[in-house]
């Protein structure tokens, strides 16, 4: 539920920690397919954008569409797989860059630009999950 319920994202998302003052608006439905949120930050690296969950299969897969800084929409997804020591979480982003050479270059740089953010987010997600097991975190369901 930490990924599927968007109100939980500020607890683990790497971008929320970059600007705790950013303005966030959640849809009335904040869990599962159709749930969305928008953000606006004065910090350039956070900017403004929106995210909507487009597919949600409990404990398996969550897909979303992100509109970052009024540019092309990209798709992100989370896969959840059982592992010996818990759950393996994979977080990816996929965007169509088209034939524009500048966008294609930007596509090649995406891992360099956001890869460390994804790693930090996954680390934060693990930390919050471990706190929940000790009942220290607030979780919206």
Check the CA dihedral 43-45-50-55 and report its sign: negative
C-alpha distance from residue 43 to each of 17, 35, 47, 65 (Å): 12, 25, 6, 22
pLDDT digits (tens, 9 = 90+) for 67-109: 876 666 788 999 999 888 788 899 987 766 666 666 655 555 5
Q: Is 54 in a helix, a strand, or coil? A: strand
Full set of structural domains in the chain with CATH: 6-133 (3.30.530.20)
Closest CA to 13 of 121, 139, 140: 121
pLDDT digits (tens, 9 = 90+) for 50-60: 999 999 998 89
What pTM did the predictor assign?
0.81
pLDDT digits (tens, 9 = 90+) for 3-30: 999 999 999 998 888 888 999 999 999 8
Q: Is 32 in a helix, a strand, or coil? A: coil
CA-based radius of gyration for the chain: 15
Residue 71 is given by DSSP the state S
Check the CA dihedral 21-27-29-33 and report its sign: negative
């Amino acid at each position: 539920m930490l990924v599927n319920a968007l109100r939980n994202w500020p607890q683990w998302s790497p971008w929320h920690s970059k600007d705790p003052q950013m303005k966030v608006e959640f849809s009335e439905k904040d869990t599962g397919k159709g749930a969305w949120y928008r953000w606006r930050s004065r910090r350039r690296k956070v900017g403004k954008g929106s995210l909507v969950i487009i597919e949600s299969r409990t404990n398996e897969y969550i897909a979303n569409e992100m509109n970052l800084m009024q540019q092309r929409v990209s798709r992100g997804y989370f896969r959840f797989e059982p592992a010996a020591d818990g759950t393996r979480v994979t977080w990816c982003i996929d965007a169509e860059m088209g034939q524009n050479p500048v966008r294609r270059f930007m596509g090649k740089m995406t891992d360099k630009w956001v890869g460390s953010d994804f790693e930090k987010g996954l680390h934060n997600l693990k930390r919050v999950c471990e706190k929940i097991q000790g009942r220290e975190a607030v979780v919206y369901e």
